[in-house]
A and B are shown apart, each in its own frame.
Chain A
Amino acid sequence: MYSEKVMDHFSNPRNVGEIADANAVGTVGNAKCGDIMKIYMKIENDIITDVKFKTFGCGAAVATSSMATELVKGKTVDEALQLTNKAVVEALEGLPPAKLHCSVLAEEAIKAAIQDYYDKSGIEKKIECSGDCAHCHAHHE
């Protein structure tokens, strides 16, 4: 049911782990629904110099986290904000329809991390979310 690319990113996920001195951390999803993504970023001079993730979830959740981190690594914050769930799906050569929400979650996780960076750096910007709360479950404070 999964593409080879998805299986590759599931079995050999890129960028798994934590960043001790991360200055951007975002968590979306909840355990009740079966997926949580936590993204750590090190942002220097507006560039995402390092990014790691931890994910609780299905194969697609792991693969989309892995791919999303690959797609934003080395990018500027503004470039990373342009990442769409569709781009993640395309890079993974497709996802089963029932798993598309995982790609939405990955996009939201990247945005949540960047929002955290804005908040911590005193940048007064609010990233608009997709509004698809059923998929995202981000904790709005």
Chain B
Amino acid sequence: MIYLDNAATTKMKDSVIEAMLPYFSETFGNASSTYTSAGQAARKALTEARGKVASAIGAEEKEIFFTSGGSEADNWAIKGVALKNKDKGNHIITTTVEHHAVLHTCEFLEKQGFKVTYVPVDEFGMVNPKDIENAITDETILVSVMFANNEIGTINPIKEIGAICREKGVCFHTDAVQAAGAVPIDVKEMNIDLLSLSAHKFHGPKGVGALYIRRGVKLENLLHGGAQELGRRATTENVAGIVGMAQALAEAVDGMAEKTKKLVKLRDRIIDGILETVPYTRLNGHRTERLPNNTSFCFRYIEGESLLLSLDMMGYVVSSGSACTSGSLDPSHVLLGIGLPHEIAHGSLRASLSEFTTEEEIDSFINAVGPIVQRLRDMSPLYEGVEGKE
């Protein structure tokens, strides 16, 4: 199997699993219990993990709150700020290409009476900070813009958007689930108030994430109960998961520049290879301002799920923003958001790399795509009479 779906989830590293193991067995104590013998070691592990995650994004230890994943972090940030500030205003700004954890949360809040502006993006999926600035009103209580897009990999000018929000006194959240561990993040320098993380995107375990909450930022709790996470999130701490997340993130940011160089080379090898060998194909997202591990294409005249299934049968694991994978008739909101017509957006394919990806895998993948696309085109009524026209 050649795994090229690292934007969906990643393989855990052995070192991460090793770091976690003691917290399933000898160090199983409840980190919030008062007894010292069993709980203390777990408590210490939590503090260390918090410190590691904080330093990976330029935050302070007490600004990191562990969650069950990226979606919970997004939900908490958006609902938490909205509920806390509903007396100050009822307006939220986000973009048309966010992850559903953000979009569906905003839609939920709209039903509760909040007003949401969905700022459009350019043809590469990038947000113009000016558009955010222009959308801010006296009623605006939150701006939520993703750090990097999960489908097409485009990286947003987060620092500039953060500066605008800071100047206007509006809380700024960014979903950094795809960006964390892949590109440098400094929450202080980038003027970020809230930032969502998910461990399984950077070789950590599933079921754990974090929300960075800048000191002084007020938001309501999402989970009520015990006083875990400094009284802001009830639920017995997932100590092993948290330790794994911290270990994975620390490893991801360690030597990032070197790893990025290697990934960008592989990424561009795929992009150039596919665009050179497969006609009627476009790259989705920005050519350079994109995640080092993301490639996304649309192949005209064919449908993405067919392509994905065909590649899967040959052992290549990729993903598609295709409507048919999700069971709806509409193609990906991200591809429509960058202005693609439905018929082109249906033919999408995402191949996402990790530091485990090799050049041999990339070359094998590039060589596999062309013939499969041709086979599907030969079967497609849309392709009739196209060949040889250009």
Interface residues of A (CB under 8 A from B): 2, 7, 10-11, 13, 16, 18, 27, 31-38, 54-62, 96-99
Contacts and interface: CB of A to CB of B under 8 A. Distances in A.
Given A13-B379, A34-B331, A98-B327, A57 B342 contact: no
B346 interface: yes
A33 B78 CA distance: 32
Interface in B364-390: 378-384
Given A34-B331, A58-B322, A10 B306 contact: yes
Contacts of A10: 306, 309
Contacts of A27: 381
B342 A31 contact: yes
B96 to A, nearest CB: 19
Contacts of A13: 379
Of B301, B309, B327, B329, most buried by chain A (CB within 10 Å of CB) is B309
A33 B342 CA distance: 7
10 contacts: A10-B309, A16-B378, A16-B379, A31-B346, A33-B342, A34-B323, A36-B381, A56-B381, A58-B324, A98-B328
Contacts of B5: none
Contacts of A60: 324
A11 B313 contact: yes
Contact of A59 (B306, B323, B329, B342): B306
Contacts of A99: 324, 327
B175 interface: no
Nearest to B344: A31
B122 interface: no
B309 A59 contact: yes
Interface string B299-318: 00111011001100100000
Contacts of B324: 34, 57-61, 99
A124 to B, nearest CB: 28
Nearest to A16: B379
A109 B331 CA distance: 23
A59 B379 CA distance: 12
A25 B389 CA distance: 24
B379 A54 contact: yes
B380 A32 contact: no
Given A33-B323, A54-B379, A54-B381, 17 more contacts: A7-B309, A11-B310, A13-B379, A31-B342, A32-B343, A34-B303, A34-B329, A34-B346, A36-B380, A36-B381, A36-B382, A56-B301, A56-B381, A58-B322, A59-B305, A62-B306, A62-B379
Nearest to A35: B303
Contacts of A33: 323, 329, 342
Contact of A31 (B305, B310, B343): B343
Nearest to A98: B327
Closest 5 CB pairs of A and B: A98-B327, A58-B324, A31-B343, A58-B305, A38-B381
